[in-house]
Amino acid sequence: MSENATLKENTAATDTAAAPAPKPKRPKPKSMIMLGEQTNALFENARIAKENGEKVGWSASIFPQEIAETLGLNILYPENHSAGIAARHQADPFLQECEGPLGYSNDLCAYAKVNLAYASVLNGESNVELPDGGKMIKPDFLLLTNNICNQLTKWYENLAKQMDIPVFFIDTCYNAYDYVTETRVRYVRAQIDKLIEDLCAFTGKTWDEERFKKIMEISQRNSYLWERANNLLDRKPSPLSGFELFNYMSAMVCNRGKESSTAVLQQLNDEIEQHIKNGTSTFPVEEQFRVSWDGIACWPYLGHNLRTLKKHGINMVASSYGKAWAIEYEDLDGMARAYCFASTNGDNATTMIARRIEALEKFGCEGTIYHVNRSCKVMDCQMMEVQRQISARTGIPFTSFDGDQADYRNYSEAQFETRIQGLVEVMRQNKEAISNG
């Protein structure tokens, strides 16, 4: 054996010895497996219903879905679907198609751009390859509220015109006050009553008041369990990495009125409680800082967000985003009131500030990260003043970064890392000041 060959062997042996062993993957929790099964069932049931000649709808994410659930309608959710495409890094061909051949503006919501391009494929007008094989099947009608965003109104109007289908719309208006007036409750309630009448006529379904009461009970139970799971992150250290709750949002966005969500969320609560009992956490490193996340998740870069925060021991334990679907009410009037007040984009700055300060105190947050989401300009507009006032009142530092909920082109990894580094320095100084009295 030559000297060179021996050297190569020794070097290889050294390299092998130096290479760190791959970290074993954490087994997927049972609640996540159940969630995956629920999502598959949602799309599969819609496909079967379509094959059987039943009408299938698409819906805005904070539409009162208990109505469709009572009627036994199969409903799919474009916002949730677009988020999934973005998170899997499959959005680019849809964005290019929407801004190119379809002629839409780059400034539009990226969820809308992905969905409008997807719909054009279903409508035989585009040839973009569908990465999921077309499981978001072509709708026969649309369900719309503008409580989350007024751009949804134009998005759905375009879908309705493109596919020549009806859109059933509930107008909730912007909340100028930090409460919902009785006049507005009556305004929205009248629309809900008309919606039920029109949906029954269009789909051939029959309204069952007893079933509606049962669906409302399920929905309220799910809201309670979702809120509880979020609130359990107030423990120190948190039993969960806060980003993980983003994964469970589909149970509330797409399946609020289903008992399958009750099973998923009960399992999630049980798993979090087990972590609390065992003194363990799914956050993979020592929790050095606790922060609040404001704005929609930056789905194309969720992995980079998490890795960067983990590097500094930052756990996101509170979010204004996921809790938007914890909708509480007791009857139809209460439903009208709750859906008026469900989303940040429908609330005034006073309400936004009060809710966020309450969360910062409850979860012991030492900082806030604001996602300046290019798709969500209404939220961004208020966010600038909200973050200024909250920091002035609480003394809690914040940082912001530019990103997007589905358009990967509007994000800089270097900017995110630099902004987080700056926040860490301020949070550390604050800790040291407290420690030194």
Q: What string of DSSP letters covers 135-200?
A: -SPPPSEEEEE-SS-THHHHHHHHHHHHHT--EEEE-----SSSS--HHHHHHHHHHHHHHHHHHH
Closest CA to 295 of 370, 396, 245: 370
For 351, the enclosing helix (H) or strand (E) is helix 349-362
At residue 148, the pLDDT reads 81
At residue 378, the pLDDT reads 76
> Quick check: 386 and 352 in contact, CB under 8 A?
yes
At residue 20, the pLDDT reads 62
Q: CA-to-CA distance for 177 and 294, rounded, in angstroms?
A: 21
> Quick check: 258 and 69 in contact, CB under 8 A?
yes
Q: CA-to-CA distance for 321 and 348, rounded, in angstroms?
A: 16
At residue 324, the pLDDT reads 66
What is the block-wise mean pLDDT of the chain (437 residues), using blocks of 10 residues?
A: 44 52 78 97 97 97 91 97 96 98 96 98 96 95 89 95 96 80 91 96 95 93 94 96 92 93 98 97 96 94 96 93 69 83 70 90 96 87 88 95 96 98 97 88
β-bridge mates for residue 76, sequence order:
58
Peptide bond into 237 cis (omega under 30): yes
Q: CA-to-CA distance for 197 and 389, rounded, in angstroms?
A: 45
Q: CA-to-CA distance for 418 and 433, rounded, in angstroms?
A: 23
How many CA atoms are closer than 13 Å to the CA of 249, on its beta-carbon side?
24
- Sheet (strand 141-145) strand order: 74-76, 56-59, 141-145, 167-170
Q: CA-to-CA distance for 47 and 41, rounded, in angstroms?
A: 10
For 94, the enclosing helix (H) or strand (E) is helix 92-99
173: CB partners within 8 A, 6+ apart: 146, 184, 187, 340, 346
